[in-house]
Amino acid sequence: MDTPALPPLTASTLYLVATPIGNLEDITLRALRVLRECDIVAAEDTRRSGQLLKHFGISKPLLSYFQFNEARRSEEIIERLRRGEKVALVTDAGSPGISDPGERVVQAAITAGFRVEAVVGACALVGALTASGLPTDEFHFVGFLPHKSGQRRNKLEALKTTVGTLVFYESPYRIEKLLGELIEVYPDRDVVLARELTKKFEEFLRGKPAALLEIAQKRSLKGEFVVMVGAAE
């Protein structure tokens, strides 16, 4: 029995292509097809995305967009969409537009009247939350907290009355600092740290903030973190 032909990509469309957050097996068949059939790949980090494309035997022009040039690159991407090109947008890992500069590119495309289509796949937020053991029926995604201590503390204080599980992204360089702040603001809440998701050393650490800080100080916890804070009892 013949396999039905898949519909071609739509001209003048921005495709948001989710890429693996660690395990390369987590890329979807649809994502691979879009990357093969698009005209250009807009990437947060062209070197990293170039390695991913090479791994799957895909050769496409790469256009860099990142925090300090996304305004200029957004204009170039819009111009390509006007010419009828099919643009695939990828981030370093996971779903574009979640805590990365791709958000501005998406807004620019929509404002200019172009079609935006999500090619769904890996997302650290979803993977961590569903395996955390904390309630998932209602949650609040914060992303990365401000770098400045005062602003971080103010943000955590403001979230005290938020209903549901709180979800943050954090780097390994600031995880001890964040746990110290959680001890001050949410000392009695259940916290889950998820690190190295989908990779060989994936780990979930569960406990109160003070207990987790003690673990972090004894061990060198590497990798990017998803930090989840349970609601107040």
Longest dimension (CA), the chain: 64
Last residue of a domain, one of 74, 91, 119: 119
Distance CA 9, CA 28 (A): 16
Edge-to-edge order in the sheet of strand 62-64: 62-64, 40-43, 86-90, 13-17, 115-119
Q: Taken in order 213, 218, 220, 223, is the CA torsion positive or negative?
A: negative
Residue 225 forms beta bridges with which residues? Answer: 170, 195
Q: Which residues contact 230 (CB under 8 A, 6 or more apart)?
A: 134, 135, 165, 189, 190, 191, 192
This prediction has a pTM of 0.91
> Residue 8 domain-assigned?
no
At 3 the pLDDT is 60
Residue 141 within a domain: yes
Q: What pLDDT is recorded for position 166?
A: 98
Query: For 85, what's the count of Cα atoms within 13 Å in the CB-facing half-sphere?
Result: 19
Tally the residues of the chain.
Answer: 233
31 part of a folded domain: yes
The pLDDT score that the predictor gives to residue 134 is 98
**Do both 105 and 133 map to the same domain?**
no
Q: What is the pLDDT of residue 20?
A: 97
pLDDT in the model for residue 178:
96
What is the reported pLDDT for 2?
Answer: 58
Rounded Cα gap, residues 164 and 132, in angstroms: 14
CATH of the domain at 92: 3.40.1010.10
Residues 166 and 222 in one domain: yes
Question: Does 208 lie in the same domain as 134?
Answer: yes
64 plus 104 within the same structural domain: yes
The DSSP call for residue 206 is: E
Among the candidates 78, 98, 119, a domain finishes at 119
Residue 6, in any domain of the structure: no
* Same structural domain, 107 and 159: no
Q: Check whether residue 210 and residue 128 sit in a common domain.
A: yes
Residue 200 falls within a domain, yes or no?
A: yes
Give the total number of structural domains in the chain: 2
| Structural domain ending residue among the three candidates 100, 119, 138 | 119
Residue 23: domain span = 13-119
| pLDDT on residue 100 | 83
> Which residues, given as ranges, of the chain have pLDDT below 50?
none
Residues 171 and 207 in one domain: yes
5 within some domain: no
Distance CA 19, CA 25 (A): 10
Nearest-angstrom CA–CA distance, 173 and 55: 29
pLDDT tens for 64-110 read: 887 666 677 889 999 999 999 999 999 999 999 898 888 899 999 99
- Spatial distance between the Cα atoms of 24 and 21, rounded to a whole number of angstroms: 8
